[in-house]
């Protein structure tokens, strides 16, 4: 078996190459079919449709949002790669080994982080909700499990 070409690259480099490839394929604005075989779920987040294969058979097909809502094989693969998991009730948990990959915990001992993982809770936000405001005191740290965050800045006068 051959490894995918970008498997040895860090995620940021692989994502940059994927974005450039997608951009180059659509130079005239016409639709293009781009087939990507990968085990890195982050590299296909922006694709229109995703086919999930297992043992040579298609087990799921659809848009990313649909596949995540169905909580099937694709959902499980995304959760396992992120180091975060979400149970059937929608509660997210993080493992100490994954927490250690967050820059501010990188020098922490894994045994200390086991206790720290119990301090994390789950909050759901709707589109447009404000998580925090610049300059306001906050006692929360957010790790995004699914979805996207948009930054907006206000000028100070």
- For residues 42-63, average pLDDT: 88
What pLDDT score does 11 carry?
Answer: 57
What pLDDT score does 12 carry?
Answer: 61
What is the pLDDT of the chain when averaged over all its residues? 78
pTM for the model stands at 0.49
- For residues 84-100, average pLDDT: 78
Task: Read off the pLDDT of residues 101-114 as tens digits, 9 standing for 90 and up.
Answer: 777 888 999 889 98
What pLDDT score does 7 carry?
Answer: 62
Q: What percent of the chain has pLDDT over 90?
A: 13
How would residue 1 be classed by pLDDT, with cut points 50, 70 and 90?
Answer: very low
What pLDDT score does 6 carry?
Answer: 63
SS (H, E, C) the chain: CCCCCCCCCCHHHHHHHHHHHHHHHCCCCCCCCCCCCCCCHHHHCCCCCEEEEECCEEEEEECHHHHHHHCCHHHHHHHHHHCEEECCCCCEEECHHHHCCCHHHCCCCHHHHHHHHCCCCCCCCCCCCCCCCCCCCCCCCCCCCCCCCCCCCCCCC
């Amino acid at each position: 078996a051959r490894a995918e070409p970008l498997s040895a690259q860090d995620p940021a480099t692989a994502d940059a190459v994927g974005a450039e490839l997608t951009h180059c394929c659509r130079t005239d604005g016409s639709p293009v079919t781009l087939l990507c075989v990968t085990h890195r779920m982050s590299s296909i987040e922006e694709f229109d449709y995703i086919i999930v294969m297992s043992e040579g058979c298609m087990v799921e097909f659809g848009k990313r949002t649909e596949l995540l809502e169905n909580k099937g094989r694709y959902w499980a693969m995304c959760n396992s790669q992120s180091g975060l998991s979400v149970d059937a009730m929608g509660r997210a948990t993080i493992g100490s080994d994954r927490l250690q990959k967050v820059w501010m915990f990188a020098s922490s001992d894994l045994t200390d982080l086991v206790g720290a993982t119990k301090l994390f809770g789950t909050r759901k936000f709707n589109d447009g909700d404000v998580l925090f405001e610049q300059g306001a005191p906050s006692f929360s740290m957010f790790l995004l499990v699914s979805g996207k965050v948009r930054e907006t800045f206000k000028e100070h006068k």
